[in-house]
Amino acid sequence: MYFKRKELEKFRSFKGPLIDVRSPSEYYKGHLPNSINIPLFDNDERSKIGTIYKKEGRKKAVIEGLKFFEKKMELLLDNLFMSIESYKTISNKNNEFFIRIYCSRGGMRSQSIAWLLEKYKLNPITLHGGYKIYRKWVLDSFSKKLNIVVIGGKTGTGKTKLLSLIEKYKYQTIDLEGFACHRGSTFGGLGMKEQPSNEQFENQIAEKLNSFKFTKNIFVEAESANIGKCKIPHEFFNQMKNSRRIEIVRSESNRLEELIDTYSVFKKEELQESVLRIKKRLGPQRTKIALESINNERWDLVCKSVLEYYDKCYEYEKVGKTNIKILDLTDKKYDESILELINNLL
């Protein structure tokens, strides 16, 4: 069996295609970003092998796994070679690279594929400890002391817009809503891709943190613990709650304009469904106004009818927060002139 395994830090430092040979369900739950899933066993095959292992032991499970492997070896090789060639095309480099392979614990699945590729005189390496060791690295990263600056503000103040602006000018930012594919409210999923698993959400945050200098400020948008179905890592969220906070203030007309620009592009049915999800909290009167206004394309009335509700929620969420600096952006354009205002608050 092939044993050219590398520790996580060294494994990550090599250049080359990154291959996840676990089953599709394992990959969906969580994987190394930018990895390609070329499963040694599909979900059903992995389940069968696991059952045999529990009932009849390791030897019988390995034999069954080899039977599956024999039937699909040619297809596996085709997929692997396609990924390798794609990497060569994209990287457009002739330098030597390695085929990086990992499975759940750095065991037989990744070693089997590495052994096979070595027969073709390629350069495979496997991850010692597999995805399990990577997840430990992910979770450990949230316990490190971070210089977080939270950007807060009521609905429609343009928090995400400000975050994008300062990222453009090379400030360290983490777009939690972008990673979660959700804006955090009942309307948050409109126009967004399917949300990732919570585990993959955590992986993306950890990877972003890994690219930062922890001595410098890290800007994030104020969020509840949950963004859609994704939950912000507990240790990271605790640091957010106790961090410095910049509170954006804008006029009601500014906020309405922002909300209208964001949500008026969506289908009426989608907007009405979103309103109905919070009808108990909106109350019958506001719900009726919102639904009728959507139907009549009175976007100002739609936004006004939900703004009061979200403002109350936000004021409740802000209770107990200290170390807040006000950033008044009323009638201001979101351009580089804002950067000086931010720097004066830090």
Residues with a catalytic annotation lie at: 103
Residue 101 corresponds to which tokens in the numbers above?
């392979």
Taking the chain, what is the end-to-end CA distance rounded to the nearest angstrom? Answer: 56
Phi-psi region of 156 (alpha: psi -120 to 50; beta: other; left: phi over 0): left
- Residue 131: Cβ-neighbour burial (10 angstroms; 0-12, 13-18, 19+): buried
Residue 1 corresponds to which tokens in the numbers above?
């069996």
Q: What sign results for the dihedral spanned by CA atoms 340, 341, 344, 346?
A: negative
Strand stretches in 193-314, DSSP E:
218-221, 226-227, 230-231, 244-249
Residue 156 corresponds to which tokens in the numbers above?
């429609």
How many angstroms separate the CA atoms of 225 and 236, rounded?
10
Place of tokens 């394992």: 26
Yes or no: say if 201 and 131 are a contact pair by the CB < 8 Å rule: no
Residue 33 corresponds to which tokens in the numbers above?
């970003």
